[in-house]
Structure 1
Amino acid sequence: MAPNTFNVGVVGYGMSAKVFHIPLITSLPELKLYAIVQRHPKPEDDAEKDHPGIKSYRSTEELVKDPAVDVVVITTVPETHYSLASLALEAGKHVVIEKPVTSTSEEADKLIALAKEKKLLLTVYQNRRWDADFATLTHLIKSGALGRVVEFESHFDRFRPEAPSTGSWKTQAGPASGAIYDLGVHLLDQVVFALGLPKKITGFVGIQRQGETGGFEDACTVLLHYDGGVMATVKASVISPEEKQLRFWVRGDKGSYKKYHMDVQEDQLKAGKKPGDSGFALEPKENYGVLTSAKDGKIVSEAYPTIDPPTYVEFYRQLAQALSGQGDVPVKPEQSRNIIKLIELAKESSREGQTLPAKL
């Protein structure tokens, strides 16, 4: 029997929509790219020309009035997520929100309550749960190869000492802006997915670039304290002059896993490679991480092949199943709400200069 097909309307036509959502949606037969909201198309940037046959709207208000739309995907700037998601839910549409889910945990709580009231699906695009290196790391943890994990480091470090010449929400002061809302959301989500919620939190959120006057916080370090002396560190820096950047360093009482380099899917999607193409999401051998094990009193290190990941398509595959009533959403909105609350606590901790209880 042919699968159910669900019409998807995408709000926004920037990089997020073009790179991280539309190629995944169009790769699945259960989902149909039905409509796109693009407020100001240009001759060289027109969703209707790029995707012949779609419905083209200029506002989300128009989109949600279309009875044929089943799912609304919101890819706009974070400060608009709450209002646009509320609009779609009120109109009876299931909703996918690009991360971060909202500017505040209070807004996230309101959306979760509204989705439950309307009996609609609400989920958040935390795509890096399906990074190949993270999938490899979670496999090693679950298999017991590292033993009891005591330290978990996760980094998105770069060497970009000059302030960006053009701004986006990621590089301007404002609601849900800065490194902690951009990269920190991914890092915190992965740690909490792997280890659960912490007991305490210590945050260092600030500015590393010299001469930055706009108030944009370009760096963050967050310590997550767990029972039994377990500590997780997430770090995003723009002043990291390294030939290769550390991504993960996770240590346990039986071994450790150290990994450099970023997952390849983002760069591949930006370059036009699509899910299903040869080599998509597969990491080159020279980028493999190193597994170090304590065996018979000796320390032995070896390259550990990165596993073939389910890829970012898995997010939308699970969404399609949930729409058909055959499973849960790929990312529960409560989980993403908790990440926003952790960010709020990290910023408060940084301002006050003290460790805080992780009361969510």
Structure 2
Amino acid sequence: MASKTYNVGIIGYGLSAKIFHIPFINAVPEFRLYAVVQRNPKPEDDAEKDHPGIKSYRSTEEMVKDAGVDVVVVTTTPETHLALAKLALEAGKHVIVEKPFTPTHQEADELAELSKKQNRLISVYQNRRWDADYVTLSKLVKNGSLGRVTEFETHFDRHRPEMPTTGSWKTKPTPGSSAIYDLGTHLIDQVVHLLGLPKRITGFIGSQREKNDSGYEDSFTLLLHYGQTLATVKTTVISPEEKQLRFWVRGDKGSFKKYHLDIQEEQLKASVRPGGDGYGKEPSDRYGVLTSYKDGALTSEVVATVEPPTYVDYYRRFAKALAGGGDVPVSASEASDVIRLIELAKESSRLGKTLDV
């Protein structure tokens, strides 16, 4: 029997929708791009022209009344996520919410409860669980190549000392903005997905730019305490390096050091799409190095980055969950845990002390 096709309606038509969602919706046979909410189409930026045959709406209220919509994807700014996801759930739609899920964990929990009440699925788009470098590192941790992990460093560093001139939400101090909500949700989610929740947290959050009158917090360093394991989660905008460190994970049997970000975002922005030649495959000059300790000696080898399932797998898993074939790829409760850690990190930074989780 042929699998059911689910009609997808997207709220918002910015970079998130165009680059991180629509290509993967189109790559999974169980989904069909059905509608887009775009408030102010322009001749050079019109979802209906870009995707002939879809329905174009000017408001979410209009779209969720459409009985043809099965799944709603929320790609708008973080402070709007709660209200828009509620509208969709209350209209009987399944929902995917772009990260950061919500500005507060109470809002995240509210959406989790509402989805249960409505008997509808909700999931958060933590797509970087399917980064090739993270999948490679996870394999090394789980197969014992590093032994007992003692230090786990994860970075998303860049050298951007000047404040961006664009009016993006990512440069304004609004609820759910700042680097820790933008990039930090990815890094924290990966650590918690692999190591679980920490016992304590220490946060250092602020701005490293010399000229920044906006109040936007552009950098952070978090210490996640796991007993004998310490995870350092870091983003800085002052990092003049040709190769940015991504992972450095050390254990009693080995160490893994990796530079460069996963290639998928770079490819997507260059119009390379899932299924295209080389999509998601990292070139060999970006491979990481595994140093092993055995019989009192150290040896190093280049480790090929695995060919990842890619971000397509997020939508594949969501399709299976809709068909009753498993859990959603990222649950609301998991995303709520990440937001709670961000709140604790902000409080830790404000108080200047380590807090229990």
TM-score, with structure 1 as normaliser: 0.99
Partner Cα separation in structure 1 for residue 315 and residue 24 of structure 2: 7
1:344 is aligned to 343
1:179 is aligned to 179
Cα deviation per residue 1:191-210 (whole Å; 9 max; x = unaligned)? Answer: 00010000000000001000
Cα deviation per residue 1:15-65 (whole Å; 9 max; x = unaligned)? Answer: 000000000000111000010110000000000000000011011001100
Partner Cα separation in structure 1 for residue 63 and residue 287 of structure 2: 44
Cα deviation per residue 1:202-238 (whole Å; 9 max; x = unaligned)? Answer: 00000100021110000000000012x2100000000
Residue 297 (structure 2) pairs with residue 298 (structure 1)? yes
Unaligned runs of 5+ in 2: none
Q: How does 1:192-341 map to 2 (within 5 A)?
A: 192-227=192-227, 229-341=228-340
Partner Cα separation in structure 2 for residue 355 and residue 296 of structure 1: 38
2:168 is aligned to 168
* Offset of residue 167 of structure 1: 2.4
Amino acid at match of 1:317: R
* Offset of residue 169 of structure 1: 1.3
Work out whether residues 162 and 211 of structure 2, in 8 Å CA contact, stay in contact via their aligned partners in 1.
Answer: no
Unaligned runs of 5+ in 1: none
2:121 is aligned to 121
Partner Cα separation in structure 1 for residue 165 and residue 118 of structure 2: 43
Partner Cα separation in structure 1 for residue 337 and residue 283 of structure 2: 34
Amino acid at match of 2:75: T
Partner Cα separation in structure 2 for residue 220 and residue 40 of structure 1: 35
Partner Cα separation in structure 2 for residue 90 and residue 289 of structure 1: 46
Partner Cα separation in structure 2 for residue 211 and residue 103 of structure 1: 26
Partner Cα separation in structure 2 for residue 189 and residue 326 of structure 1: 24
Residue 322 (structure 2) pairs with residue 353 (structure 1)? no
SS at match of 2:261: coil
Partner Cα separation in structure 2 for residue 320 and residue 27 of structure 1: 12
Amino acid at match of 1:281: G
SS at match of 2:282: coil
1:94 is aligned to 94
* Offset of residue 334 of structure 1: 0.2
SS at match of 1:63: helix
1:64 is aligned to 64
Give aligned pairs, total: 357
SS at match of 2:27: coil
Partner Cα separation in structure 2 for residue 270 and residue 109 of structure 1: 33
Work out whether residues 202 and 354 of structure 2, in 8 Å CA contact, stay in contact via their aligned partners in 1.
Answer: yes
Partner Cα separation in structure 2 for residue 283 and residue 167 of structure 1: 32
Residue 16 (structure 2) pairs with residue 22 (structure 1)? no
Partner Cα separation in structure 1 for residue 320 and residue 183 of structure 2: 28
Q: How does 1:49-60 map to 2 (within 5 A)?
A: 49-60=49-60
Report sequence identity in percent.
Answer: 66
2:139 is aligned to 139
Moved runs in structure 1, 4+ residues, more than 3 A?
Answer: none
